[in-house]
A and B are shown apart, each in its own frame.
Chain A
Amino acid sequence: MKIVPRSLRWRLQLWYGAWLAAVLTAFTASAFALVRDSRLRRIDAEIERRMVALGAVFRPPLRDALRPPGPEGRPWFRPGERRPAAEGRSPEEAGAVSGGGPAGGRRPGEPPFFAPPAGAMEALEASLFSQDGPDRFYYRILGHDRFGERRSAGAPPDVPRPAPPPMDFVVRQTAEVREHVRRLRGGTLTLTVGKYIGPDLAELRRLSWILSAAAAGIWALGVVGGAWIAARAIRPVETIGHTAQRIAAGDLSRRIPVAETDTELGRLAEVLNATFDRLCEALARQTRFTADASHELRTPVSVILSQVESVLARPRPAEEYREALEACMRAARRLRHLVESLLTLARFDSGAPAGERERVELDGVAAEALALLRPLASERRLELVADLAPTACVGRRDQLLQMAVNLVSNAIHYNRPRGRVEVRTWTDGDARLEVRDNGIGIRSEDLPHIFERFFRADPARGAADGRAGLGLAITRTIVEAHGGQVEVESREGEGSRFTVRLPSHPEPLAPDDAGNDTRIEKTNR
C-alpha cells in the first residue's frame, strides 16, 4: 500500500498543505499567546494597582512601623479589634474589620493598632473593588493565622484559605480568578487581590476561535489555490505526455499545442515539437529513400521477369531469344549499377572508415574521368574541353575518380547535341575542380534538391537510360567525406556549373614528384 502518492501534483499538494498548516498554526498560536499575555499583563497591572492602594490603606504610620511588636507579642493588627476610643471613632466607624468578636478596650501602653482610616475601606471597595460591570476585583486580607481575615464583598467564598505562601509575592490563577498574594510585615499580613477573569477568558476563547477559523480559512484557500495552480501547471505535462503517446502510436503529424511560450513547459513543448519535426523529417526521408530505391529496383526486375516469361511461353526463333537475353542483360547491368550505388551510399552513411588517404592529383583524376567518358561524349557529339592545372589534394583516388566521372557524365547526359563540357582544375589554396556545360540547365526550383538521393528533375527522364538519380548524391557524399564541398550554379536552358572544393595537399607539387604516390599521415590535414 502506498501512503505517499506517486503523482507529482499530489506530492506537491501534500507538501504545501502540511507546510501551510504548520505555518498557520505557529502564527495563530503565537498571536494568541501574545494577546493573552498582554491581557494578563493588563490584569496584573490592575491587580497591582489595587494591591498598592490596599497596601497604602494598611500602611501604618512610620512610628508604628518602628515600634516593636507589643509586649504580648500581639500583632500590630488584629482583625475585629475596635479602634481606641481616644481616636474619637465610634466602633461602627471602625467596622472595616469584620468577623471579629467583641473585643476589649485597648490596654494602656499598648501600641496603637493600625487600622485603616474610617471609611477608607468602603471608599476603596466602592472605587476599586466594585462588583458592578464586567471587571470585578476583590481582596482578602489575612492577618497572622491566629487572627481573622477580612474579605471584600464578592470575594470568592470558596477560595481555600491559602497556605502561607513560600514567597512574599505569588500570582495564582484558577479557572475563574487570578490573584496576587503579597506578604507584608514579615509574614504577619497577607494581602490577596484578585480578579474574576471569566469574561477575559471568554474573550480570549472567542479570539482563539476567530483566529482558528481565520487560519482554517486561509489554509483552505491556500490548498485550493495551490491545487488549482498545480493542476494548471501540470496540465501541459499531461498534454505533452498525451501527444507523445499519440506520436509513439504512429500519428506522426500530431504536435503539442503551445499556448504559453513563456513558461518552462511552453519552452519544453517547443523543443519537443522541434524534435518531433526533425524525427518526422528524417523518417519521411528514410521512407522516401526506401520507396525510391524499391521503385528503381522494380523496373529492371520487371524487365527480366517479363522478358523471360514471355520467351519461355513457347518455342521461338533464335533471334527472339537473343533479344530477350540482351534485354535481361541491360536490366541486370542496371541493377548492378543501382546496387553498387546504394552500397556506396550505405558505406558512407554507416561511417565506415574512409581507408588510407593519400596524395591525389586532382588533375590526373579529371583526365582519367574524361578519358573514360570520351566515347560517350563523341557518341552524343559533344565537345569535351580540359584545362587541367596541377592540383593535389588528399583523399582516396578511387572515390575522387567516381566523383569526377559522376559530374562529367552528368554534364554529358543533360546536354544537347553538339554541346560542350569543360573541365578545369586549379588551386587557390584549396584544390578546385569545375565541370561546366552548356546543356539544358536546371530549373531554379530544382536546384536545392539536385544533390538529394533519387532526385530527378524530370522523374521519367533518365529512367529509360538507366540513371537512378544517385550520381550527384554520391558525388556530394564523397566530397563531404573528404572535407570539401560541392556547389552548383545553373540557369535553365543555358547550362550548369558544378564546383568542387577539396582541401589541398600541404606540400607544393615538386616537379619530379608529380604522379608519384606520396603517402601522408591521415592526421596531416
Chain B
Amino acid sequence: MRLLVIEDEPDLRSGIARSLRDEGYAVDMAADGEEGLFKAENWTYDVILLDIMLPRVDGWELLRRIRRRGTTPVLMLTARDTVPDRVRGLDGGADDYLTKPFSLEELLARVRALIRRGAGRPSPVIEAGGAVIDLNARSVTRQGERIPLTPREYALVEYLALHRGKVVSRTELYDHLFGDDEDTMSNLLDVHVSNIRKKLGHDFIQTRRGHGYCIE
C-alpha cells in the first residue's frame, strides 16, 4: 500500500510517516500543496492524508483537484474541528476527517478502513488461497497457524488479497509497495514472492507470465 502524507509541519509529517512505515506502508511525503498536488497527480496512491492549512495551494483546493482526477481515498487531517469545517471537508470529496491532535492508533485504523473500502472489500478478513488474512491484525494464518511475515511480505499478500482473482502487474506492485525514496532493485519483488511461497506454499501466489501475479 502506498500512501501520500501532505503536511507542512515537518515534525508531524515525520512522526506520521514513521508510524505508517512501521506498518509496512510505502509512504511519500509532501511539505506543501504544490508538491502534494504534483505527487498526487503523478503517482497512484491507496490513501492520501491531507492537511488543510498548507502553503501555496491549500487543502481545500488540493482536494478539489484530486477529486477532479480520481477516486483515491482522502483522509483530511486538520486542527479545524468545527462542524462546518468537517462538513465542508466531507462534502468537498474527503472520505474521512480526523482532527488534531489525534491518536496514531486511530489514524492507522482509519487508514486501514480507507484501504479496504478503496479496494471494495469492507470486511477486515479475507480468505484466499487457503489462508486467512486479517487486515486489522495484519496477520496471515493457515489452518489456524499464524505464518510469520515481514511487513513488506505482508503488504504484498495484502495487496494481492484485496485484488483477489485479478492479475496484478509487477509495475502496479512496485507502485503500491515501494515509496519514492526507496531504491527498488528490479528483482526485489521476486525475492519477496519467493519468500512468501516458501512460507505459504508455492501455489499461494500464482505467476501469470508476462502479466503479473495473482491470488485465487
Contact = CB atoms under 8 A, between A and B. Distances in A.
A320 B22 CA distance: 13
Interface residues of B, number: 29
* Residue of A298, A299, A311, A459 with highest tally of chain B CB at under 10 A: A299
Given A298-B101, A309-B104, A464 B10 contact: yes
B53 interface: yes
Interface in A287-333: 291, 294-295, 298-299, 301-303, 305-307, 309-311, 313-314, 320, 323-324, 327-328, 330-331
A428 interface: no
Interface string B40-69: 000000000000011110100000000000
Contacts of B33: 460
Contacts of B8: 460, 463-464
A316 to B, nearest CB: 9
A461 interface: yes
Nearest to B58: A460
Given A309-B103, A460-B53, A464-B9, A299 B15 contact: no
Interface in A419-468: 458-461, 463-464
A133 B205 CA distance: 139
Interface in B1-31: 8-12, 14-16, 18-19, 22, 31
Contacts of B198: none
Contacts, number: 84
B19 to A, nearest CB: 4
A295 B80 contact: yes
A407 B99 CA distance: 33
Nearest to B32: A460
Given A303-B9, A331-B11, A320 B18 contact: yes
B148 to A, nearest CB: 16
Contact of A314 (B11, B12, B22, B99): B22
Contact of B100 (A298, A459, A464): A298
Interface of A: 291, 294-295, 298-299, 301-303, 305-307, 309-311, 313-314, 320, 323-324, 327-328, 330-331, 458-461, 463-464
Interface of B: 8-12, 14-16, 18-19, 22, 31-33, 53-56, 58, 79-80, 82, 99-105
Given A306-B101, A310-B19, A314-B22, 19 more contacts: A291-B80, A298-B79, A298-B101, A299-B100, A302-B101, A303-B9, A303-B12, A305-B102, A306-B102, A306-B104, A309-B103, A320-B18, A324-B15, A327-B14, A327-B15, A459-B53, A460-B32, A460-B55, A464-B55
Question: 3 tightest A-B contacts by CB?
Answer: A306-B15, A327-B11, A298-B79
12 contacts: A298-B100, A302-B12, A302-B100, A305-B101, A307-B15, A309-B105, A310-B16, A310-B104, A313-B19, A313-B104, A323-B14, A330-B11
